[in-house]
Structure 1
Amino acid sequence: MRTQRTPLKGDEPAKYAWRPAPGELSIAAVRLGHGTDVDGAHEAHSHDFPGIAYFEAAGGVVRHGAQVRDAEAGDLFVIAPGDVMGRARNDDLHGARGWGVFFTADVLGRDTPGAHLAWRTHPLLFPFVHGGATGALRLSVPEEHRPEWTARVRALDDELRHRRDGYREAVSAHLTLLLVGVSRLAADVVGDLRENAEPLLAEVFDVIERRYAEPLSLREVAAAVSISPGHLTSTVRRRTGRTVQEWITERRMVQARRLLAVTDLPVGDVGRQVGITDAGYFARTFGKVHGMSPTRWRASGHLNTR
């Protein structure tokens, strides 16, 4: 799991973004318990990708923003992009036993929309829609279903560790079944979100998904959803932790990675296909996001295609 830390100004927490290498399957299973050491976990931070934290056994606490919650057996925390996790201490999870699963939506299949947009629209990802507005969603896995949840996450971890033939398909299947479970547990909450919380965001992400491959500005998105650019900026940032322009760029970079990985298109043509007509600007934007040029990113693909 390779993340990139972006420190923010003032007292705002750091953001961690997943920057997949060529051929990387962007999903990670992490054990949670005493001694857990996840990069960035000991400072207040948020992610731009979704995840879940499932506890097989009680013990310790989970810090979300300013809240401190005891971890109980069967607890399932649904962590949306933009959710702020509080500054952790080394002994926070003493006595606990569980798993964290973090991923991007690419893992669900080639036809799923962009990795950082699909969790807003995919039916299995709607529980992650709250994005910093209402806090991490806390659910409870019934006792009779806990062995099944534990077995599913362990099977996912086993596939990721050993990478046997067909492991990509197996990982996608295990994740899908986990998300079906999350969706069923969150059915009532999801219904409320669909009705009351996110119609504007749904419109915004629909516009981005349809038009990211052409020149697209904040003002054009605002006009498409019939509100002022200022109001749109503040609303989207408050509810997702990111700006509209950051979401546009992220969607373009998802498609750019795909084109660089599976085609021989010149870099300039890749940029044009994702809505950035200036080849130099595309290369600079890609480099800022990924820490390397598009050409170098493509060339390193043979190291991660297993």
Structure 2
Amino acid sequence: MKLFSGPPLSQFAAPAAPGRADIRLVPIPRLAAGGRWRVEAMRSYSEPLLLWFTRGQGRITVAGVTRGYGAHNAVFIPAGVMHGFEIGHQVHGTALFFGRESDPGLPRTPQHLRIREAIAQGELSGVLDAVQREMESTKPGHERAARHHLGLVGVWLERQMADAAADPAAAPRPDAARRLANRFAALLERKYRSGLKVGDLAAELGVTPTHLTRVCNRTCGRTAHELLADRRMHEARRLLADTRLPVRDVSASLGFASPAYFTRAFQGSTGKTPSDFRRQT
């Protein structure tokens, strides 16, 4: 069975026909349709994502580092990068999924940009509106036009990154703790299905579990074990909610020693058994 690591297309729109573009623009509140865990728990997508927050505030964790976000913050997350963010009732904005085949000159690393100038804010909102119009159009070449607009998003990001780099106060400089947190998040994303424990992952990174947990607490306010458990439980809930995979196969796919152990861990995390969770979603 082929498993899709991003949000199900049915959650946002009808699946694209073969050969059609898979660009999607989604109101940020709709990302939490089916449960806040869909955005707040650690997960990754198999395509690049841009979050454009226009109202509200909260905290967002990307690659093991947590920062606050507010209105007119743009957060770019490359494919495969672990992340999650708080979403309250006042949070509004747009999530742009670029599609798996798209690469319009996008950054290779996560970016968190605080856009203070009204002109730059209007530029991004205008380009996103143009992408949406083309994706809803039936005119010839509308998909090609949408992808050209995605290229403008890439240019916009490049220019805002250049402005941020020229302003030392715009973003914290990566230090040893953030670099280790980034490495741990990347390793965790690759191996959370393996059944490895934090001690195993720490050994691969060349540090002690104690040091790794101290660093994670510093960079995101959570232990290394909590990040690992959260990532596995998000995937468990996604598989239970979005696929017909038997519970025993969900357990095995996530590296649990037995279905019984998986059920205890899942119930301890969510308050429901896997079967109850599936019935209620």
Q: TM-score range by the shorter chain?
A: 0.5 to 0.7
| Deviations 1:264-306 (CA, angstroms, capped at 9, x unpaired) | 33212211211212323322333444454322333345xxxxx
Hey, which bits of structure 1, 4+ residues long, moved more than 6 A?
26-30, 79-84, 172-177, 194-197
Residues 108 and 54 of structure 1, relative CA distance in 2, 3 Å threshold: same
Residue 123 of structure 2 corresponds to which residue in structure 1? 148
Tell whether the 8 Å contact from 2:54 to 2:92 is kept in structure 1 after alignment.
yes
Is 1:126 matched up with 2:91? no
Residue 13 of structure 1 corresponds to which residue in structure 2? none
Query: Structure 1: any 5+ residue segments left out of the alignment?
Result: 6-15, 21-25, 33-37, 56-75, 85-89, 91-98, 112-121, 129-136, 302-306
Distance 2:256 2:172 in 1: 38
Following superposition of structure 1 onto structure 2, how do residues 210-229 of structure 1 map, counting pairs within 5 Å? 210-229=190-209
Residues 225 and 30 of structure 1, relative CA distance in 2, 3 Å threshold: closer
Distance 1:195 1:83 in 2: 22
Residue 185 of structure 2 corresponds to which residue in structure 1? 205
Distance 1:265 1:218 in 2: 27
Distance 2:233 2:155 in 1: 28
Residue 237 of structure 1 corresponds to which residue in structure 2? 217
Residue 13 of structure 2 corresponds to which residue in structure 1? none
| Deviations 1:119-167 (CA, angstroms, capped at 9, x unpaired) | xxx9466114xxxxxxxx5344472x443323356679x89xxxx89xx
Is 1:17 matched up with 2:9? no
Q: CA deviation at 1:235?
A: 0.6
Compute the TM-score of the two structures, normalised by the length of structure 1: 0.49
| Alpha-carbon RMSD | 5.2
Residue 294 of structure 1 corresponds to which residue in structure 2? 274
Q: CA deviation at 1:237?
A: 1.6
SS in 1 for 2:40: strand
The aligned length equals 216
Residues 200 and 284 of structure 1, relative CA distance in 2, 3 Å threshold: same
Identity of aligned residues (%): 27
Distance 1:292 1:177 in 2: 45
Distance 1:237 1:18 in 2: 17
Is 1:276 matched up with 2:251? no
Tell whether the 8 Å contact from 1:237 to 1:243 is kept in structure 2 after alignment.
yes
Residue 138 of structure 1 corresponds to which residue in structure 2? 114
Distance 1:198 1:19 in 2: 17
Distance 1:154 1:250 in 2: 34
Query: Structure 2: any 5+ residue segments left out of the alignment?
Result: 1-28, 44-48, 78-82, 138-142
For 1:17, give the aligned amino acid: E
For 2:202, give the aligned amino acid: A
Distance 1:152 1:51 in 2: 25
Tell whether the 8 Å contact from 2:40 to 2:84 is kept in structure 1 after alignment.
no
Residues 248 and 147 of structure 1, relative CA distance in 2, 3 Å threshold: same
Distance 2:74 2:237 in 1: 30
Residues 207 and 296 of structure 1, relative CA distance in 2, 3 Å threshold: same
Q: CA deviation at 1:216?
A: 1.6
